[in-house]
Amino acid sequence: MERIKTYIDRLDEQLEGGIPKGSISLICGVAGCMKSSFAYNILYNNAVVGDKKGLYITLEQAVPNLKQQMETLGMVEESEKLAIVSHKMIDTETQLDMKFELNSMKKVKYYLDDLLKRENYDLIVIDPLNALYSLTTVKNPRREAHLFFEGLRETGVTSFLISEMYPGDTKYGKYGVEEFLADAIIHLDLKRERDILERHLGIIKMRCTNHNLQYFPLFYNNGKFVIYTKEEMEL
């Protein structure tokens, strides 16, 4: 099976080489657990190091703000393989050839289908998936989510959908269906240990992959994410 590298230090070796190509992963966690940075880092390294084309759809954070944040984290290299689009840009483009109003989920799907006819992308991030539900009213969100995931899977592009959680949540997606529809769930956990916030990464599931079940301590140092196994931490 072809796999997409995450380029997160030590993570790929825990995933039999990376994330299955063409799969849909949820990247979930509470506010500030570095969901956006983590997803962007995967696209950034795949563009700069791996020569793979990525599209980052930012639905809540403005493009200059996101870029600045990533530059602050050391991801400074410009690459024509990495495109960032905002909700506003999608609105403008879709309105040009649409006579009727679509909800956000359908609009993004329409935009992607149209774009993928013209250009090839290897990776897509949607940040956050929750914005697709909230920007306009979605009548039957569970059904819409199902159709959206199916449509995305049909494109064959490896996708990462950011899912926002609240402290104490037991669901990884807003409607409790996303976790079943997704092929993989990457949980970024933020915990308070002796008055210090600690970050951990857990692979809750990843289809077709024999992965480690540990919650790995996650760090961001010198422009790179790195995980450690429990065994390494004990040394």
Ligand X SMILES: Nc1ncnc2c1ncn2[C@@H]1O[C@H](COP(=O)(O)OP(=O)(O)OP(=O)(O)O)[C@@H](O)[C@H]1O
Interface residue list for ligand X (CB under 6 A): 29, 31-37, 73, 220
Q: Which one of Mg ion, ligand X, none interacts with residue 187, CB within 5 to 8 A by kind?
A: none
Nearer to ligand X, 73 or 129 (CB): 73
Applying CB under 5 A, which of residues 6, 36, 86, 130 lies at the interface with Mg ion? Answer: 36
Nearer to ligand X, 163 or 209 (CB): 163
Residue 43 and residue 56 in contact, taking contact as beta carbons nearer than 8 Å: yes
Q: Is 41 in the site for Mg ion (CB under 5 A)?
A: no
Which amino acid does the sequence have at 101? E
Nearer to ligand X, 59 or 182 (CB): 59
> At a CB cut-off of 8 Å and minimum separation 6, what does 181 contact?
24, 145, 146, 149
Residue 27 and residue 188 in contact, taking contact as beta carbons nearer than 8 Å: yes
Q: Which one of ligand X, Mg ion, none interacts with residue 233, CB within 5 to 8 A by kind?
A: none
Give min distance, CB of 127 to Mg ion, in A.
Answer: 6
DSSP annotation of 219 reads: E
Parallel/antiparallel/unpaired status of strands 3-4 and 19-20: antiparallel
Q: Which one of ligand X, Mg ion, none interacts with residue 46, CB within 5 to 8 A by kind?
A: none
Structure tokens at 178: 């996303």
Give min distance, CB of 50 to Mg ion, in A.
Answer: 23
Q: Which one of ligand X, Mg ion, none interacts with residue 163, CB within 5 to 8 A by kind?
A: none
- Give me the sheet containing 215-221, strands edge to edge: 82-86, 54-58, 123-127, 158-164, 24-29, 184-193, 196-206, 215-221, 224-227
Structure tokens at 173: 């997606």
Nearer to Mg ion, 14 or 36 (CB): 36
Nearer to ligand X, 115 or 188 (CB): 188
Task: Point out which residues bind Mg ion (CB under 5 A).
Answer: 36
